């Protein structure tokens, strides 16, 4: 079974600075997808960014980018120019790329709470 | 507006009662999911459905039941058999469940269930 580990329960960043959130995962599969979701105080899960394992190029979405290290099974999220609205809980998630049914589920880490200091 | 709606936002249940959480989507998505979130935990899959009139158990299905009579709707019933139902429940949907693309799951705003 796949597992996702977010070892840092909390992080803090100064507004306008850069912060990196760590995520590692364990899998025996070669084809899979990785996601970062944001959960603000409203508690709705919002997709931040996603990465296909077969792509070597790291995904980027505006101020958000990932550092995907497949061999190390690491998938960190970098937030540049941090804003107050970035304060939230961030979850790393894994999805198998193979087959149907149960393989479509997302396996989540426990999340990291990010606070942004003005 | 296209999206996923969940109701109610807050729900209180007495012990021994069954309650049903609503999830509706107008995104024309094929697959729908129910997750449970507990404090300090990630989300765990309860049930999922790929097509109408078909659904499968997830990792923690005991004490829950679902139906999928319409593509747009995937209600979750929390039965009295669920020993610790107090949690935050999130519904999600995705365009299709199989294929080479990740078929990203999009989430509703959630329902907070409290057992009194």
Measured distance CA(A65)–CA(A8) in Å, rounded: 19
- pLDDT 10s digits, B2-56: 699 999 999 998 888 999 999 999 988 888 999 999 987 889 999 999 889 999 9
Phi/psi of residue A12, nearest 5 degrees:
-135, 145
Beta bridge partners of B13: B115
* pLDDT at residue number A100: 53
Q: Best of B88, B105, B111 to disrupt the A interface by mutation (most A CBs within 10 Å)?
A: B105
Closest to A52 (Cβ–Cβ): which among B43, B58, B102?
B102
Nearest C-alpha neighbor of B34 from the set B84, B79, B91:
B91
Sign of the Cα torsion B82, B86, B87, B93 reads positive
B97 CB neighbour count, 10 Å cutoff:
21
Strands (E), chain B: 4-7, 10-13, 19-25, 31-37, 43-49, 56-57, 64-66, 76-78, 87-94, 106-107, 111-115
Q: Which residues of A touch B103 (CB under 8 A)?
A: 104
Top pLDDT among B96 and A48 is at A48
* pLDDT at residue number B2: 66
Nearest C-alpha neighbor of A107 from the set B61, B88, B45:
B45
Q: What mean pLDDT, rounded, does chain A reach?
A: 92
A109: confidence class by pLDDT, cuts 50, 70, 90? very high
Measured distance CA(B37)–CA(A30) in Å, rounded: 28
Residue B55 burial class via C-beta count within 10 angstroms: exposed 0-12, middle 13-18, buried 19 and up: buried
């Amino acid at each position: 079974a796949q597992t996702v580990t977010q070892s840092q329960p909390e992080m803090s960043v100064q507004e306008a600075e850069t912060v990196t959130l760590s995520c590692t995962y364990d899998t025996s599969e070669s084809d899979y997808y990785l996601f970062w979701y944001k959960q603000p105080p409203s508690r709705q899960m919002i997709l931040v960014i996603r990465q296909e394992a077969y792509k070597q190029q790291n995904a980027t979405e505006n101020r958000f980018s990932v550092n995907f290290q497949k061999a190390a099974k690491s998938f960190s999220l970098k937030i540049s120019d941090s804003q107050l609205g970035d304060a939230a809980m961030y979850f790393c998630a894994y999805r198998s790329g193979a087959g149907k049914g149960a393989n479509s589920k997302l396996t989540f880490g426990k999340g990291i709470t990010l606070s942004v200091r003005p | 507006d296209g999206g996923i709606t969940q109701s109610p936002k807050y729900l209180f249940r007495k012990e021994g009662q069954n309650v049903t959480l609503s999830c509706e989507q107008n995104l024309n998505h094929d697959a729908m999911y129910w997750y449970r979130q507990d404090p300090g935990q990630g989300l765990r899959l309860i049930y999922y459905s790929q097509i109408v009139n078909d659904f499968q158990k997830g990792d923690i299905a005991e004490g829950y039941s679902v139906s999928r009579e319409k593509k747009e709707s995937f209600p979750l019933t929390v039965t009295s058999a669920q020993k610790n139902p107090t949690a935050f429940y999130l519904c999600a949907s995705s365009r299709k469940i199989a294929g080479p693309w990740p078929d990203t799951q999009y989430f509703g705003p959630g329902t907070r269930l409290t057992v009194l």
